[in-house]
Structure 1
């Protein structure tokens, strides 16, 4: 049930992202790094699939001493993600889309971190599978996600420089 709820939340993010993409395109928004997005999407699908399948197929137990703290972390990651979305407003997207001339956002969680949404994704991707002891999924997603985020952060930094400084 938990994985289903988190999956529904992700689907809502995709709907919101499409709306924001239309908003950005009407204002001259440009997408950067579209080539890495399918890998990011595949990693997230594997997170949810693994979080469901590993406990079922490998008969992973619910261990309260692990499960409850991981649930708290996963929910905290959701709260951080939605704080990021609320702070960025129409500028938030699952893709790297920027509008030239807009200043960087420096409020909300962006006062302290350049990429707080990615911190939320890392924590969620580690914690959600561990709610039900799916440690293979937690480890696998974390490693793949770190690699993809390494690429994505470089793309995003380049896009933000282009948007703010013109190059």
Structure 2
């Protein structure tokens, strides 16, 4: 169980790092005239992502979930791959990346890096991590609950983001 606690703590620390990057990018964006879009769903997103971490730990501990190598190793690999994709997104978007939706007037929509493959690659990372992290320790209830709730939340989030990005011309 100790390795799983460490894994979840590392993912949690990564989230704190994301928030620091997001806050810096928010200040940069607002200074250039950006206004936040879709702010109403953000608290639910924070709660859901926090619930993923807490739920995975609680279910693994209270449910006495075991590490099943045939499931756990592939899920661990997916968690690592999701982090790689997430940071590829962050580095590709640079100062335009945020956990909130900010669009800086006059900038071009980023279409390089993973964004040349699909419109919202960061959400692919979120979806993969959302089922893979708990399943690395057989926490299937958390994986199912997060996946279902995240699907609802992402439908709102992606619509808000697409609406905010409509005014940007495609670019690098």
Q: 1:46 aligns with which of 47, 51, 56?
A: 51
SS of structure 2 residue aligned to 1:132: coil
| Further displaced range: 98-107 or 112-121 | 98-107
CA distance in 2, matches of 1:11, 1:89: 17
Structure 1 gaps of 5+ residues are none
Q: Which of 7, 12, 16 is matched with 2:17 structurally?
A: 12
TM-score, normalised on structure 2? Answer: 0.94
Q: CA deviation at 1:30?
A: 1.2
Give the secondary structure class of the aligned counterpart of 1:123.
Answer: helix
Residue pairs, 1:1-167, within 5 angstroms: 1-164=6-169
Q: 3-state DSSP class of the match of 2:36? A: strand
Counterpart CA distance in 1 for 2:167 and 2:36 is 11
Q: Distance in 2 between matches of 1:162 and 1:36?
A: 21
**Are 1:100 and 1:164, in contact at CA under 8 Å, matched by a contact in 2?**
no
Superimposed CA distance per residue, residues 74-111 of structure 1 (whole angstroms, 9 cap, x where no aligned partner): 10000000000000000000001101121110100000
In the alignment, structure 2 segments of 5+ residues that lack a partner are 1-5
Count of residues paired in the alignment: 165
Q: Aligned to 2:166, what secondary structure does the other structure show? A: helix
Name the SS for the 1:102 alignment partner: coil
For residue 164 of structure 1, report the CA deviation from its aligned partner.
Answer: 4.4
What TM-score, normalized to structure 1? Answer: 0.97
**Alignment partner of 1:100: what SS?**
coil
Q: Deviations over 1:103-125 (max 9, x none)?
A: 11010000010000000000000
- The 2-side partners of 1:51 and 1:4 are apart by 11
